Amino acid sequence: MLDLGGDPRALFAGLVREGRSADLSHAMTPGMPVYGPHAPYTISLHRRHGDPHPRPRAGLSSFANELLVTSAHAATHIDAIGHFSRDGLVHGGCPAAEIETAAGLSSLDAGELGAMWRRGVLLDVARQRGVATLAAAEPIGAEELAAVAEAQGTEVVSGDVVLVRTGWARYWGEPERFNNAGAGWPGPGDGAARWLIERGVHTVGSDTPAFEAIPSPGDSVHALLLVDNAIHIVENLALEELAALGVHEFLFVGLPLRIVGATGSPFRPMALW
């Protein structure tokens, strides 16, 4: 089911005025950054053109296929609600152990994710600060998000998909620097997360491996969003093109894979305006 967040005709008419679009995802390629706790991404040809086949095909035609090994949290991806727990409990107060099975999660999984079609907002923190990218482990506070929204003339309202740009996507081609596990990443702190929650946002996202300042200076932003409020998180977004064009309001369209049992899914989000 499409997660429309309102009348699709009104959304389209109100947000898509120029007929332009930007892809907000990174390509999945060998050697791309993958955060340490997640399985590395590999792709190889399982079958090559011309390999022997028990039934030869007409016209000497042949086919190839591949083997993918990946975490659902590689490249641009969306977190399912069951991805995180607090004090051993997932959203709704259920013990995490009760939904964990040998085949993945029995509920709150990526199989429950729908295609997304909502108003999108870009809060360009890096541009507001006048820097190419925020520093490692640098937190973003609630007052700063509010100031960015005001400076852009962009109101955050209930049901929005809010994307926060730190500039970190500039390092995507440098996996060691992008992962930066030792020093951490910039991102919203718990105060900023509460600011977004108060405005009733549907989904949040950023251009880093974790939608929060790491190391965390306060409460877990993931727990606040996923566990306490069932707000989805999109990570590793490609926001540079959108930022360069100065687009802050758009129709956000995102398509997760319906991977039953998975704690997240590769995600292909687009901005249309």
pLDDT digits (tens, 9 = 90+) for 17-73: 999 999 999 999 999 999 988 999 999 999 999 898 888 778 888 899 999 999 999
In a domain, 41, yes or no: no
Cα–Cα distance, 29 to 271 (Å, whole number): 22
> How far from the centroid of its chain's Cα atoms is residue 224's Cα?
16
State whether residue 218 is helix, strand or coil.
Answer: coil
Using CB atoms within 10 Å of the CB of residue 53, give its burial: 0 to 12 exposed, 13 to 18 middle, 19+ buried. exposed
DSSP character for 169?
Answer: G
Does 33 map to a domain?
no
Reported as a single tens digit per residue, the pLDDT across 135-146 is 999 999 999 999
Contact between 127 and 118 (Cβ < 8 Å)? no
**For 232-244, how does the pLDDT look when each residue is reduced to its tens digit (9 = 90+)?**
999 999 999 999 9
Give the pLDDT of residue 235.
Answer: 98
What is the count of structural domains for the chain?
Answer: 1
Q: Which residue, chain included where needed, has tokens 């959203």?
A: 91
| 175-200 confidence digits (pLDDT tens) | 999 998 789 999 999 999 999 999 99
pTM: 0.94
No. of helices (H) and no. of strands (E), the chain: 9, 14
Rg over alpha carbons for the chain, rounded to the nearest Å, is 20
Q: Over the stretch 74-93, which tens digit does the pLDDT of each residue have?
A: 999 999 999 999 999 999 99
Whether 38 is in a domain gets the answer no
CATH code of the domain covering residue 95: 3.50.30.50
Position 80 in a domain: yes
The pLDDT of residue 2 is above 70: no
Q: Which structural domain, as residue segments, surrounds residue 14?
A: 8-27+73-272
